Chain A
Amino acid sequence: MSVLVYAEHDNAALNKVTLSVVAAAKEIGGDITVLVAGKGCGAVAEEAAKIDGVSKVLCADNDAYEHQLAENVGDLVAEVGADYSHILAAATTTGKNFAPRAAALLDVAQISEISDVIDADTFKRPIYAGNAIATVKSSDAKKVITVRGTSFDGVAAEGGSAAVENIDVAKDAGISSFVGEELAKSDRPELTSAEIVISGGRGMGNGDNFEILYKLADKLGAGVGASRAAVDAGFVPNDMQVGQTGKIVAPNLYVAVGISGAIQHLAGMKDSKVIVAINKDEEAPIFQVADYGLVADLFEAVPELDSKL
């Protein structure tokens, strides 16, 4: 067996989620190769070479991969991946974008967002917004898999000393181009890797009111998320959404503020270690999953909490 792990990065640094994907690869077994595709991504390849358990790093440094366009990366992964029994990527918007494309080009199924490895062919994955966990077995010779980062503890970022091999595979499909991006700039920890996450819902009333959450988050070193209702209402941008179709988080502490707790939201946070809910509606379903519930007006409770920490 041999596993190809696709590295998630921004051309400058490796995204921590890759360590979780390598952890899943280790459970599958066999040699682990990391593929770094990007532009000017040499430093990322060097970083990947240090990951514990990685035996080789392939670096495809080319203009075509600068923005991770699925048309180009999908072609690259299908070609490079031909030599491996398993191809793994993180279930991020990058992995979800190119991995099914690569799988189809290889004429194999993709197994989405695995949460557990049973053996080299069998995996667990959540379905129906996490309301059921399916154990699935692939009959394909090659497996293309996306990995739910929060379900696997990342391997050590240091300790390995893999060789980096530059590969000259330029796949430019020429059918798509990057126009621009608006990336959220925040000094707060990234939601999916934060130890503490504070999320606001419709009860926040408007975007300005999120300030009280930001203030509390900065005190705790927390990331700030939101329910779909808060994003749909335009309070905060889409990259803050936690839930079935947003980000999946599993921090040590999740504080849900003014969130009623629709199943689609619970799907994104119910694996958190400790859940706190603050809501003035004592009937809110969020209290059924919360370890500590506080029935209170959030505009009084949050500042009070802030002052007492």
Chain B
Amino acid sequence: MKVLVPIKRVIDYNVKVRVKADNSGVDLANVKMAMNPFCEIAVEEAVRLKEKGVVTEIVAVSIGPKTAQEQLRTAMALGADRSILVETDEDVQPLGIAKALKAIVDEEKPDLVILGKQAIDGDNNQTGQMLAALTGMPQGTFASEVDVADGKVKVTREIDGGLQTVELNLPAVVTTDLRLNEPRYASLPNIMKAKKKPLDTKTAADLGVDLTPRVTTVSVEAPAERQAGIIVGSVDELVEKLKNEAKVI
């Protein structure tokens, strides 16, 4: 079976985010970019399914700028067989991305779509659910375990109260949570091999999809800074402060 893995290029999770002085957004100039961590988990899961013999082909896809080729190459170095870049300089938003992905799904007809539950830039947590809605597929969001068998996929989901397991007909959409797996690092030979793997470039117009944002960002501000307080010298002092100064106990 075939798996589609949509991935996103985002700011590296170790980089400290700075809001631009004119409040127009976050400063991304000369900042290290990387594959969204949840997308790495999605690629890893697809690769593991292929290693188990469940999956025969992995197609990585990204909707974003030309530079997102780097992240697609990374996905191929990790084990994706080929990739597709839907190139756009638009401020892409979940609904537009889901529509572009639906067009790719219509072409590729994957049995399973595995993607990250959210990207660490917008923190939207929408794309997988929207893609599932547009394609009429069931969804297993926030997955901590994925088990494909007998034309169905069983997904254990991390929910607020604990864990929930659902069974979905294929094709299905799965979004990854943190504990689904621990992604591997790409080896040097695999990085070299990935350079020769096919990477198709398309545009939104090729797919007949409108990526125009529906939500505009009016301004972006830094959050109110929390001031560091004091270091207390003992447990007694801490208890005294909590009782008499903060009055919280």
Are B162 and A237 in contact (CB-based, < 8 A)? Answer: yes
Q: Which of B50-58, B73-81, B190-198, B237-245 contacts A (4 or more CB under 8 A)?
A: B237-245
A173 at the interface (CB under 8 A from B): yes
Q: Which of A55-63, A93-101, A204-212 contacts B (4 or more CB under 8 A)?
A: A93-101
Are B121 and A128 in contact (CB-based, < 8 A)? Answer: yes
* Chain B residues in 8 Å Cβ range of A270: 223, 226
Contact with B along A81-121 (1 / 0, CB 8 A): 00000000000111011111111110111111100000000
Contact with B along A133-159 (1 / 0, CB 8 A): 111111110000000000000000000
* 8 Å CB contact of A137 from B13, B132, B215, B232: B215
DSSP majority for the A interface?
mixed
Q: Which of A18-26, A29-37, A42-50, A286-294 contacts B (4 or more CB under 8 A)?
A: A286-294
* Chain A residues in 8 Å Cβ range of B19: 131-132
B235 at the interface (CB under 8 A from A): yes
Are B242 and A109 in contact (CB-based, < 8 A)? Answer: no
B186 at the interface (CB under 8 A from A): no
* Chain B residues in 8 Å Cβ range of A108: 95, 214
Given contacts A93-B159, A309-B239, contact A139 B232 (CB under 8 A): no
Q: Which of B1-9, B62-70, B136-144, B200-208 contacts A (4 or more CB under 8 A)?
A: B136-144
Are B215 and A136 in contact (CB-based, < 8 A)? Answer: yes
A134 CA to B219 CA, complexed, in Å: 6
The number of chain A residues touching the other chain, given as a range, is: 35 or more
Are A293 and B126 in contact (CB-based, < 8 A)? Answer: no
Are B123 and A139 in contact (CB-based, < 8 A)? Answer: no
Interchain nearest-CB distance for B240 vs A (Å): 10
Interchain nearest-CB distance for A50 vs B (Å): 24
* Chain B residues in 8 Å Cβ range of A179: 154, 165-167
A183 at the interface (CB under 8 A from B): yes
B21 at the interface (CB under 8 A from A): no
A252 CA to B139 CA, complexed, in Å: 37
Which residue in chain A gives the minimum CB-CB distance to B241?
A292
B184 at the interface (CB under 8 A from A): no
* 8 Å CB contact of B179 from A96, A128, A173, A238: A238
Which residue in chain B gives the minimum CB-CB distance to A140?
B214
Interchain nearest-CB distance for A101 vs B (Å): 4
Given contacts A176-B169, A232-B178, A289-B226, contact A129 B123 (CB under 8 A): yes
* Chain A residues in 8 Å Cβ range of B93: 109
* Chain B residues in 8 Å Cβ range of A192: 160
Are B126 and A139 in contact (CB-based, < 8 A)? Answer: no
Are B118 and A173 in contact (CB-based, < 8 A)? Answer: no
Interchain nearest-CB distance for B113 vs A (Å): 14
Are A276 and B242 in contact (CB-based, < 8 A)? Answer: yes
Contact with A along B223-236 (1 / 0, CB 8 A): 10010111110111
Are B235 and A97 in contact (CB-based, < 8 A)? Answer: no
Which residue in chain B gives the minimum CB-CB distance to A107?
B95
Are B162 and A239 in contact (CB-based, < 8 A)? Answer: yes
A75 CA to B164 CA, complexed, in Å: 21
A130 at the interface (CB under 8 A from B): yes
Contact with A along B208-228 (1 / 0, CB 8 A): 000000111111111100101
Contact with A along B158-195 (1 / 0, CB 8 A): 11111111111100000001110000000000000000
Name 23 A/B residue pairs within 8 A (Cβ), A-sorted: A71-B138, A71-B139, A97-B139, A101-B129, A101-B132, A101-B133, A104-B98, A110-B94, A113-B123, A134-B218, A140-B214, A175-B138, A175-B168, A181-B161, A239-B159, A239-B162, A244-B120, A253-B248, A270-B223, A290-B229, A294-B235, A295-B231, A305-B235
Binding site for A on B (CB under 8 A): 11, 13, 16-17, 19, 26, 93-95, 98, 117-118, 120-134, 136-139, 141-142, 144, 154, 157-169, 177-179, 214-223, 226, 228-232, 234-236, 238-239, 241-242, 246, 248-249
